């Protein structure tokens, strides 16, 4: 829809005449579908037209403009023809008003965007979350919600200034915009809190994105009035639909709760929501592990030391930097007779002492199943395409 809207607005602004624009809009509809006509009415008149009626109304407007031009003996402006056409309909809008597109777009942006950071605002968030949850439920997809809070933000305002605080908010928003995908909805929720709606995203993928963003903020050097740089960290909480919550209210509450768990764990953390009845025990354990990235190509095998393990994940330490998002197979020497083989996704990477790295891997029976199926699918595709000879 963004592409259609952009094409229509660009065509309207660059068309040599209304006749030229009429021709261009029909061309857009030929490539993008009849949704282009509905988008036209929404963009230029703020009038809601049902998709099934959009093309018919467009053709009626074009014909009405032609008749008006013939009757008056001069070309009639397209928007004038639209107003006259709508006013003659029994179900038309009352008290129609004309406004510049730039003015209309500015008003819409002010109503939906945060003026300081340029991100979408809290009012837009609630409507968008309701729509995305309805789509996820209808299509049986997952959706994750990420709450973000800038650590110790009050002390930044107190120790520096509100000008510096505003600068930190704007630069954090820019980092968020760089981290999210086009389908994600990034919002300034209020104060120093931000929210990201992630459609078609399970909690493991949300963990990966959150940790990438956390590291980006941690490494970033924020500008300060005295030309010094500030070191900022964030705490993040994640809840997912339908795994943790079935409605918007619970999803928001659980993601917010997870964020405060991250702060309670020492800040500069990402926590996945777990209610008290589902909290998994993590056991400290020092055992050798063999780590290898999943894939058909020959990949190196690393040796590390397990630090702790639970149903939901494992933390180990090794000398090699493994990227966030990597799918790993992990062999733990619980005993020589009974090694434990696990499959998971790297969701956290931290520098430890003596050149070592702490690697956090999320484990999930569902994700293990998905990874195995994905690898089998890749194998079958390779055989079919002839890149692997059976």
pLDDT tens digits along 164-208: 899 999 999 999 999 998 889 999 998 999 999 999 999 889 999
Both tokens of 32, joined, read 């993008």
Distance of CA 23 to the CA centre of its chain: 36
Res 252: pLDDT: 95
- Of 75, 77, 76, 1, whose CA–CA distance to 43 is shortest? 1
Res 358: pLDDT: 85
Both tokens of 257, joined, read 């709760």
Q: Check: pTM over 0.85? Answer yes or no.
A: no
**How far apart (Å, rounded) are the C-alpha atoms in residues 81 and 99?**
15
pLDDT in tens, the chain (390 residues): 446 777 887 788 788 888 898 898 888 888 878 888 888 887 777 667 787 888 888 898 899 899 999 988 898 888 888 878 777 665 545 555 556 656 655 666 667 888 899 999 988 899 889 989 998 998 899 999 999 999 999 888 888 888 889 999 999 999 999 999 888 999 999 899 999 999 999 988 999 999 999 999 999 988 776 657 788 999 999 999 998 999 999 999 999 999 988 888 788 999 888 765 444 567 888 888 888 887 656 678 888 888 888 777 888 888 888 887 788 888 887 766 677 888 888 877 877 777 788 888 887 655 556 656 665 666 666 656 665 544
DSSP single-letter state for residue 319: S
Domains of the chain: 2-109 (no CATH), 115-278 (3.30.70.270), 283-373 (2.40.10.220)
Res 185: pLDDT: 93
Res 105: pLDDT: 59
Res 30: pLDDT: 87
Q: How far is CA 95 from CA 86, 87, 92, 250, 312, in A?
A: 11, 9, 10, 41, 59
Res 325: pLDDT: 79
Res 367: pLDDT: 57
Q: What phi, psi does 337 have (nearest 5°)?
A: -80, -30
Res 85: pLDDT: 79
Res 278: pLDDT: 44
């Amino acid at each position: 829809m963004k592409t259609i809207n952009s094409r229509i607005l660009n065509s309207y602004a660059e068309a040599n005449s209304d006749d030229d624009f009429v021709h261009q809009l029909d061309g857009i509809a030929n490539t993008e579908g009849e949704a282009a006509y509905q988008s036209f009415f929404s963009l230029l008149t703020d009038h809601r037209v049902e998709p099934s009626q959009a093309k018919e109304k467009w053709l009626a407007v074009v014909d009405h403009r032609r008749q008006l031009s013939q009757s008056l003996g001069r070309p009639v402006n397209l928007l004038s023809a639209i107003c006259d056409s709508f006013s003659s309909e029994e179900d038309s809008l009352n008290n129609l008003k004309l406004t510049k597109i730039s003015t209309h777009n500015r008003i819409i942006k002010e109503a939906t965007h945060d003026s300081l950071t340029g991100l979408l605002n809290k009012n837009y968030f609630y409507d968008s979350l309701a729509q995305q949850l309805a789509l996820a439920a209808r299509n049986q997809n997952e959706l994750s919600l990420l709450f973000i809070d800038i650590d110790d933000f009050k002390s930044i305002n107190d120790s520096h200034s509100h000008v510096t605080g505003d600068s930190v908010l704007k630069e954090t928003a820019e980092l968020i915009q760089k981290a999210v995908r086009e389908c994600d909805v990034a919002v300034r929720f209020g104060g120093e809190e931000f929210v990201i709606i992630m459609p078609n995203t399970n909690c493991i993928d949300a963990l990966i994105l959150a940790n990438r963003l956390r590291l980006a903020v941690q490494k970033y050097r924020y500008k300060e009035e005295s030309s010094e740089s500030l070191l900022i960290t964030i705490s993040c909480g994640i809840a997912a639909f339908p795994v943790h919550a079935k409605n918007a209210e619970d999803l928001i509450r659980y993601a917010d709760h997870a964020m405060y768990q991250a702060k309670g764990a020492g800040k500069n953390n990402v926590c996945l929501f777990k209610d008290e009845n589902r909290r998994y025990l993590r056991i400290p354990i020092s055992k050798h592990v063999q780590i290898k990235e999943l894939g058909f190509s020959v990949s190196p095998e690393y040796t590390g030391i397990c630090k702790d393990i639970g149903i939901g994940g494992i933390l180990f330490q090794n000398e090699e930097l493994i990227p966030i998002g990597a799918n790993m197979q992990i062999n733990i020497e619980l005993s020589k007779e009974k090694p434990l083989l696990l499959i998971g996704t790297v969701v956290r990477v931290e520098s430890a002492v003596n050149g070592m790295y702490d690697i956090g891997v999320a484990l999930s029976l569902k994700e293990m199943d998905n990874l195995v199926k994905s690898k089998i699918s890749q194998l079958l595709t390779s055989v079919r395409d002839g890149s692997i000879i059976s």
